[in-house]
Amino acid sequence: MKKIIGLLFLCLFVLIGLLGIYIVDDGEEAVVLQFGKHHDTIVESGMKWHVPFIQTVWTENTQEVKRMEYGFRTTSEGDSSNISEYVEVDREALMITGDENLVSLETVIQFRIFNVEQFFFNVHNQYDTIAHAGAAAIRRVVASNDFDGVVTENRGGVEAEIHEHLQAILDSYEIGIQVTTVQLQDVNPPVEVQDSFHKVVGAREEMNAVINQAESYANQIIPQARGNAAEMIAKAEGHKAARVAEASGDTALFNELLQAYRLGEDVTKTRMYYEMMEEVLPHVEKYIIENNDGSTLQFLPLSNSKNAVDQ
């Protein structure tokens, strides 16, 4: 009888030992609770043991990047031969922008757990809390931006705002979550106005094409105009330098004449007078007449003298 009781105790001990074994996989952390209170945190992977019925173990992967979807749900993950399949959730995707337009917004938020103690003990229904916080952040940011900014012009800015606002909410909860990325997957107006929206987008693209064409033309014509202006300036500078040099030469010549004039004012004056008359009356026969005290009138025919000199 004693052997049977001892065997039963041995089996019970072995069973308790087996029930207390648990495994912490790579990337996981475990929290051990004793009588419902935090007892220990296990961060090393491997086979571990706890006291069954007295202690409880919760595990979570802290290295895995988790994903939440808003406005759609993935029903089949794609691979190299198949594409992903998903279904839309209309009510969840539909929201209003800051300029009071409706928009259908599908968003993916990725996050990871960096503190398992905060994750397990500070908030109940952790994943529901994250989902509600994400929805609140998305709707608040969309409501603070206009339609064009959300749909086309400021998608990157909207993603950054959602990321910042959601992280602030989760930090206030002290839930131990780090938001890694926020991606706007598909942003469209409601189905009822999609045709009009596509026309507006087409018109905007046409406008941008015309602007780019005008800027390209400006980039061609402006350098050409600047080159022409530089050429004109260079010519003007050259003309200026030539005129200055010419004026300087004239000034030097005048100074030389002035010096010669001062050496013999009467002779120079007479010579300059004769030269000027020759220039003014080139084809007229000219005589030089000089009055003296006698009765004889003396004159010098310049033309004959000139011919004689030439001969």
DSSP string, 27-52: TEEEEEEETTEEEEEE-S-EEEE--T
pLDDT at 114: 92
Buried b (16+ CB within 10 A) or exposed e, 83-97: eeebeeeeebbebeb
CA distance 1 to 264: 164
Reading the block at residue 89, the tokens are 């959730």
**pLDDT band, residue 78 (cuts 50/70/90):** low
pLDDT surpasses 60 at 302: no
CA distance 239 to 110: 72
pLDDT at 293: 53
**pLDDT band, residue 307 (cuts 50/70/90):** very low
pLDDT at 296: 46
Instruction: Tell me the one-letter amino acid at 111.
Output: F
pLDDT at 31: 87
CA distance 233 to 219: 22
CB 71 within 8 A of CB 93: yes
First vs last C-alpha separation in the chain:
172
pLDDT at 46: 81
pLDDT at 181: 95
pLDDT at 310: 45
If one compares 300 and 262, the residue with the highest pLDDT of the two is 262
Instruction: Tell me the one-letter amino acid at 5.
Output: I
**pLDDT band, residue 309 (cuts 50/70/90):** very low
- At residue 136, the 3 state secondary structure works out as helix
If one compares 110 and 71, the residue with the highest pLDDT of the two is 110
pLDDT surpasses 60 at 299: no
pLDDT at 277: 83
Average confidence (pLDDT) over 292-309: 49
Average confidence (pLDDT) over 145-157: 86
What integer best gives the mean pLDDT of the chain? 82
pLDDT at 182: 95
pLDDT at 173: 94
pLDDT surpasses 70 at 66: yes
pLDDT at 168: 96
Query: Where would I find the H helices in the chain?
Result: 2-19, 90-93, 116-121, 126-143, 147-148, 155-173, 194-263, 265-280, 302-310
Neighbour count for residue 70 (Cβ, 10 Å): 23
pLDDT above 90: percentage of residues in the chain? 28
Question: What interhelical angle do 194-263 and 265-280 show, nearest 10?
Answer: 130
**pLDDT band, residue 151 (cuts 50/70/90):** confident
Residue with token string 């475990």: 30
Q: Which CATH architecture has domain 66-76+85-189?
A: 2-Layer Sandwich (3.30)
pTM beyond 0.95, yes or no: no
Q: Which of 49, 53, 46 is nearest to 18 (CA)?
A: 49
Average confidence (pLDDT) over 285-292: 65
CB 278 within 8 A of CB 305: no
**Upper half-sphere CA count for residue 266 (Cβ side, 13 Å):** 0
pLDDT at 193: 65
